[in-house]
Amino acid sequence: PTVGQTLSAQSGGVSGVPTPAESYPWLANGVAIPGATSSTLTLTPANYGQQVSVTVTETNSLGALSLTSSGVTVAGIAPTITSATLTGTPTVGQTLSAHSGGVSGVPAPTESYQWLANGVAISGATSSTYTLTPANYSQQVSVTVTETSPAGRVSLTSSPSLPVAPRYGALSTPLSHLFRGSSTQLHLSKSTLSQLERVALSLRATGGRLLLLDHVTYEATKDSSHRRALALQLGKKQMRVLVRELVTLAHREGVTLHVTTKVLAHSLKGLTPSARRLWTSVELEK
């Protein structure tokens, strides 16, 4: 029998003159259950794990006789959960919270959580809240809520969040200080043109601002598309120097940079002068 079910007492071989009256005190672990004296007993959560039995007593004017049934152990009810949701703003640095609904079971289940990024478990993220980190940028985060009791285990995963957005801040030191003079362009001599690579450089900065928003462009710096971009004409060595100095700047400003580079072309040999104008915009984002 399980919690919520109803037990019935039955007697057999009853005789006596005058006909005896029958009573039914129910017992839990051998102790009378207060008020349980009818021929049926509906099991409650309090009976979970108990040995329930019934004593049938026959009574008439000549005497009384009792007989107690063997006991049965009351089983629990497996956990259920009808909803798993998360709340909070999906932005780096913000905290998401897990919520469950329609949870039931006997005994009351314990709740556990596993946070996921793009469907993959995030190591160590097992509390009811999760603070988004720069590693979660652009990922979709969800949470699996698990209900566990001796009667069973059940899990439900929330719908994923929107892609995690960057958190915007501001760098107090302008990037232009990295370059000599007033220009933000680095011009290379003809002897180094053949060593150039067209490189897309993406810098993700914790707490940084999208200071330089344009993507890679093939136009000259006088083009209006550069009004918000840092135009660079760099070779391999210069690119390495730039990255190193940007990381140093980021450390001083108290932000974290994640650097990704992608080589789009390996050589400029044989290209026209206009094609040699390779501009890379540097993007600071979280």
pLDDT of residue 51: 97
Number of CB atoms found within 10 A of residue 189's CB = 6
Question: Is the link from the previous residue into 18 a cis peptide, with omega within 30 of 0?
Answer: yes
Nearest 5°: phi and psi at 276?
A: -80, -10
DSSP reduced 3-state for 156: strand
Tell me which amino acid residue 45 is. P
pLDDT of residue 183: 27
pLDDT of residue 170: 36
**Where are the chain's structural domains?**
6-73, 77-157, 175-285
pLDDT of residue 215: 27
Please measure the distance between the N-terminal and C-terminal CA atoms of the chain and give it in whole angstroms.
Answer: 57
> Tens place of pLDDT for every residue, the chain, 286 residues?
999 999 999 998 888 899 999 999 999 999 999 999 999 999 999 999 999 999 999 999 999 999 999 999 999 999 999 999 999 999 878 999 999 999 999 999 999 999 999 999 999 999 999 999 878 878 999 999 999 999 999 999 999 999 987 654 433 334 433 333 322 232 323 323 333 333 333 444 333 332 222 222 222 222 333 322 333 444 455 555 555 555 555 555 454 444 444 333 333 344 444 433 333 333 333 2
pLDDT of residue 248: 58
Is residue 255 a contact partner of residue 207, using CB atoms and an 8 Å limit? yes
CATH topology of domain 77-157: Immunoglobulin-like (2.60.40)
Burial class (CB in 10 A: 0-12, 13-18, 19+), 241: middle
Q: What letters, b where the CB count within 10 A reaches 16 and e where it falls short, cover 121-137?
A: ebeebeeeebebbbebb
Provide the whole-model pTM: 0.56
pLDDT of residue 241: 58
